[in-house]
Structure 1
């Protein structure tokens, strides 16, 4: 399993940055950098050039404990198919990576990559701009069969025609049950007096807003600007009263572990690792619900090995392969059928993962999970300015 949470690395904040500048140019109507469907594909060299280039985040694939350069599931794919994979861990931040490859995409040039993994809120921009190709689901039977129904129809990509989740997760609440001395069941429980100055929220707009709206009773699949402003009004009042200790990146992990903070907006994958060292840390999906998110695989425009990339994606949707990946990265597995594979393992540690609701949410938890409607390009500039001003970014 990973020694360090991948989300502890730098993440895009969804602020103005490169994407905000593009959004400001976009306005209403067809974006100036939009690529028409007919112009997205190029000659596919997959049949005669059996390779592909796969760009991912660090610590986001299984690694051999004895030989750190070996990636067992990826190595098995190469042996199985004869396709050579150039695997790079070059994505450390959504906005930074966007800035790295956007000049090529907006100028209708190849990025040199056949497969990339980015957060769904950023995937929404790629799909909206026409910078990714539609996948051939007929050539991906395992995706068609095994993709979690909860992840099949995000607002930005109905039917997942352009994207496939690599891993998923939940933004909920982590807290120290022993030190707090009570349960947290609702988002509003964070605002009680005994947590004044001992609670943190995530600083990134895209990472934060959905859970906070859900705490207000909002259906995040169809939230409105009024919902957003009501939420920020509440948070602004809590900030002014000193109730919220601060807004954080992944340093909330250290704060929770040390006891300086008793409750925090948190990612499910981080908490699994925290609990291994501190069993008093609990993770809760509030009664009002929590956000289910994914980081997804995309095939950029003019990728030279599209068919090879589609084969790799489908390979990772084989339940036995998804199980191996889930056992290492410890995020919510987008292939529910992998649960039975892990449950039947003779290794007790692997078998126990099948019962972990933060990897395979149970039915009660699943009913409270939702994928948020993405922030549109028109909304982003205004909302990011309001949020970042409050957070201090």
Structure 2
């Protein structure tokens, strides 16, 4: 589905992460601002450059290398605005493994890199529905559970999830929901429904996420359809709805944090944690699951089949699964933690926030984005292209 774009705002920084870098207050600024500050520290703190070099990808007999280059390096490819500033320095200090950290802006970008077989990444973070695509394309290696001593810290929901039951190929990084962000002061009303996009005060300034499944789900939900519908007629109806909606939008983009925090956008379809980060700068913002419903999703850690340092990737995954590390990550990114052992350590206000950890009845209105199979996924990609270009 190469035409589909999805994800969070893009910052393409490949760098060697130095644990001696100054630590920034996680509550004082957006994660994106923290990344630019870290990158600006200079050569003594980080190296900015191209993606990591690729190790030999094949064994002498021509089979894929089971690899492991014996060097203390981990090449990590993650979404932007999506890590605690202490995570990598803490791992480096404890293990002596040097982390080369790079960011991507969409699952499609990630898939293209990994499918090329020449990216050299050891650890990547796809979303759950893309994980199944990666598995169909044989892009991942199974996890060695003997190296994951903290795996039992995961909640049962994430050990039995249908996208990877038993965590054979993945371990969840964070999870969240897709709903609406809005400014009561700017819109001069409370928002409870997707009909808010029709408000005069939202015209020309609202945002629709630039991601096929999320964007089309908004159209499906507004029309009372299942956001995972496989019905071509319903998909066409969603396209028509979004084309009409598009005339009153400000923009279609996945870069929602800055427009929300600056007040430029008074209404946006958005990922939950992005809104909570933007609230640190703009406390007027409110996040809501509209009455029509929304989506749930999980981003997962997994190891590409040709990873040159797979054992180091396992060590990082096990590090993340430690309760104190998982708790700090959750507090930094403002998304739900899949780590049950970390929950008691997470700030009580965050842990008890129903927008971060929705109750069971609310989760029923927030289905996961289903993998609909190659044919239907391609249909969604084509439908999104019609929305974007129509």
Q: How high is the TM-score relative to the length of structure 1?
A: 0.72
Tell whether 2:96 aligns with 1:88: no
Maintained 8 Å contact 1:5/1:270: no
Distance 1:168 1:8 in 2: 22
Query: Structure 1 residue aligned with 2:385, among 373, 382, 388?
Result: 388
Alpha-carbon offset, residue 116 of structure 1: 1.7
State the secondary structure of the residue aligned to 1:287.
coil
Matches within 5 A, 1:112-151: 112-137=120-145, 139-140=147-148, 142-147=150-155, 149=157
Can you list the C-alpha shifts for 1:100-126, whole angstroms capped at 9, x where unaligned? 342327xxxxx5332122334443332
Cα distance, 1:282 vs structure 2: 0.4
Q: What is the match of residue 276 of structure 1?
A: 280
Deviation string for 1:241-279 (max 9, x for gaps)? x333432331x4454455554321112122112222322
Inter-CA distance 86–253: structure 2 relative to 1 (3 Å threshold): closer
Map of 1:73 onto structure 2 = 87
Shift of 1:159: 4.6
Among candidates 321, 325, 331, match of residue 317 of structure 1: 321
Mapped partners of 1:8, 1:78: distance in 2:
19
The equivalent residue for 1:297 is 301
Q: Does 1:175 align with 2:197?
A: no
User: CA 1:45–1:380 in 2, change beyond 3 Å: closer, same or farther?
Assistant: closer
1:201–1:247 CA contact under 8 A, matched in 2: yes
Q: Tell me the equivalent position of 2:207.
A: 200
Change (3 A) 1:91 1:257: closer
Distance in 2 (CA, whole Å) between partners of 1:294 and 1:93 is: 14
Higher helix share: 1
Secondary structure of the residue aligned to 1:264 is: strand
d(CA) in 2 for partners of 1:249, 1:303: 29
Q: CA deviation at 1:184?
A: 2.0
Kindly indicate whether the alpha-carbon contact (under 8 Å) linking 1:331 and 1:358 is maintained by their aligned counterparts in 2.
no
Give the count of matched residue pairs: 338
Kindly provide the CA deviation profile for residues 348-387 of structure 1, in whole angstroms up to 9, marking residues without a partner as x: xxx5433344444445543432211135332344432332
Contact 2:330 2:346 in 1 (8 A): no
Q: Choose which of 226, 233, 246 in structure 2 pairs with 1:226.
A: 233
* Residue matched to 1:287: 291
Distance in 1 of aligned mates of 2:268 and 2:159: 25
Distance 1:273-1:226 versus aligned 2 partners, 3 A rule: same
Q: Which runs of 5+ in 1 are unaligned?
A: 10-38, 64-71, 106-110, 344-350
- 2:4 matches 1:4: no
RMSD: 3.5
Task: From 61, 80, 84, give the equivalent of 1:62.
Answer: 84
Q: Which residue of 2 aligns with 1:212?
A: 219
Shift of 1:224: 3.7
Matched, 1:378 2:370: no
Find 1:246's aligned residue among 239, 246, 251: 251
Question: Deviation of residue 294 (structure 1)?
Answer: 2.7
Provide Cα deviations, 1:192-217, integer angstroms capped at 9, x if missing partner.
56644453312221342234323333
